[in-house]
């Protein structure tokens, strides 16, 4: 387990103990295994917010790949 989950929510992270490689899919379009774990995670929202605000560049966070997070950040910039 890496320090992928940082914050008070991390104790409830569903990915604790999961293989970190699942959360770093080689193909940016993949990550289905990680997303399935995130889908059942009780702290998906704070996890995603953390990844967005800290500009995490790699891996699946909060159920989204890096590409998907970049899209959200672009949308937020547009609507800001």
Query: Where on the chain is the footprint of ligand SF4 (CB under 6 A)?
Result: 5, 13-15, 37-38, 41, 43-44, 47, 61-63
User: Which residue lies nearer to ligand SF4 by CB, 58 or 75?
Assistant: 58
The minimum distance between CB 80 and ligand SF4, in angstroms, equals 24
User: Which residue lies nearer to ligand SF4 by CB, 49 or 80?
Assistant: 49
The minimum distance between CB 78 and ligand SF4, in angstroms, equals 25
Q: In the numeric block, which tokens belong to residue 23?
A: 């959360």
User: Which residue lies nearer to ligand SF4 by CB, 12 or 75?
Assistant: 12
With b for 16 or more beta-carbon neighbours within 10 A and e for fewer, the 28-66 pattern comes to: eeebeebbebbeebebbebbbebbbeeebeebbbbbbbb
């Amino acid at each position: 387990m890496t320090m992928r989950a940082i914050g008070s929510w991390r104790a409830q992270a569903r990915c604790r103990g999961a293989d970190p490689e699942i959360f770093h899919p080689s193909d940016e379009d993949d990550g289905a295994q990680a997303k399935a774990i995130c889908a059942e995670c009780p702290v998906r929202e704070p996890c995603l917010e953390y990844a967005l605000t800290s500009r995490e560049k790699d891996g699946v966070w909060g159920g989204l790949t890096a590409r998907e997070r970049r899209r959200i950040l672009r949308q937020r910039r547009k609507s800001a």
